[in-house]
Amino acid sequence: MPLIVDVELAEEDVTPTLIQSLLSSNLAMKRKMIAMIEDGDMDTCAKLQDQIICNDDFILKLFDFDEKVRSCLHENDDRKEEKDISSLKTGMISRQQRLDV
């Protein structure tokens, strides 16, 4: 039975290898859980399911944006839109200029 441990990880400690290990562990626990269901061991199934959910939550939270990142993304989007609008304005030819050609 896997031991549930609460660990604080620095951002640089989270690697693709760690995520792959968690996913592999989840798949192994799922197979074990299916075998336990067939044997009727529902207590172990519940514990395995809790561990799988805990691992999944950990992985999903790694990809959540915090508010600082979100605000930087919005600022970058706003700057890009302003740049696109200004480039459109400078590249526009007035209707009269088009008719003169």
Does residue 29 sit in the same domain as residue 75?
A: no
DSSP count for the chain of H helices, then E strands: 4, 0
Does residue 53 sit in the same domain as residue 100?
A: no
Q: How many domains does the chain have?
A: 2
Q: Taking the CA atoms of 14, 15, 16 and 21 in sequence, report the sign of the dihedral they define.
A: negative
Q: Is the pLDDT confidence value at 16 over 90?
A: no
pTM over 0.85: no
Does residue 35 sit in the same domain as residue 48?
A: yes
Residue with the bigger pLDDT between 91 and 50: it is 50
Q: What is the pLDDT of residue 32?
A: 93
| Domain extent at residue 94 | 67-101
Distances 82 to 69, 74, 85, 100 between C-alpha atoms, Å: 20, 12, 5, 30
Q: pLDDT tens, 53-101?
A: 999 988 888 777 667 777 788 887 877 777 776 666 666 666 666 566 5
